[in-house]
Amino acid sequence: MVTKIDLAPDEVYQKVLAVLKKICDSKEVKKSPMFVDENTDPAFLAKAMPDKMICPIFSVSNVTGAGIDKFKGFLSNLRSRVKDSGQFGLPTDPVEFLIDGFYQVKGVGLVVAGTLLSGTVKPGENLLLGPNKTGQFDIVKVNTIHHKRMDAEIALAG
């Protein structure tokens, strides 16, 4: 993505695009650069991504917002690679939650943060936490689920 296009003189902007094209065309990268303009369909680009042959290049203005709608359209049409990554189990697998942070909230209690590696979790469910120092697992209750500071009714692996 080329940002702040309204700050660069046209000759500098064109040089940047030429460098990006050269990088994409190199034997190391081997991608076809696709320069996105007002006539480009972002859904088409997103659907073409799995073949790994193209490299969409978006030019956006942070001042006027030009190009941002095309970029958002592209992102919203990308197929999730969560299942393809091999890092996450299925929603039907047993729950495995990797805790990477925790904190106390006054009036609420212990809050944990992390990544759901497998399974499905809903508020009100009991889970096993552990192993503790004695090698045992403690029963804990999921009171609420939040994602990016918003309440969530369910959490799925990945």
Rounded-to-integer distance, Cα 59 and Cα 22, Å? 17
Residues 14-26: tens digit of each pLDDT: 999 999 999 999 9
pLDDT number for residue 38 = 86
**Is 43 within a domain?**
yes
Residues 51-100: tens digit of each pLDDT: 778 899 999 998 899 999 999 999 998 877 666 677 888 889 999 999 99
Give, as one character, the DSSP assignment of residue 69. Answer: H
Residues 71 and 104 in one domain: no
**Is 149 within a domain?**
yes
Residues 73 and 107 in one domain: no
Residues 25 and 70 in one domain: yes
Residues 129-140: tens digit of each pLDDT: 999 999 999 999
pTM (two decimals): 0.57
Give, as one character, the DSSP assignment of residue 87. Answer: S
**Is 36 within a domain?**
yes
Residues 108 and 73 in one domain: no
Residues 63 and 114 in one domain: no
**Is 48 within a domain?**
yes
Residues 58 and 101 in one domain: no
Domain boundaries, position 65: 10-77
Domain count, the chain: 2
Sequence-separated (6 or more) residues with CB below 8 Å from residue 74:
36, 42, 43, 45, 46, 56, 58
**Is 58 within a domain?**
yes
Distances (CA, A) of 108 to 103, 126, 158: 10, 17, 26
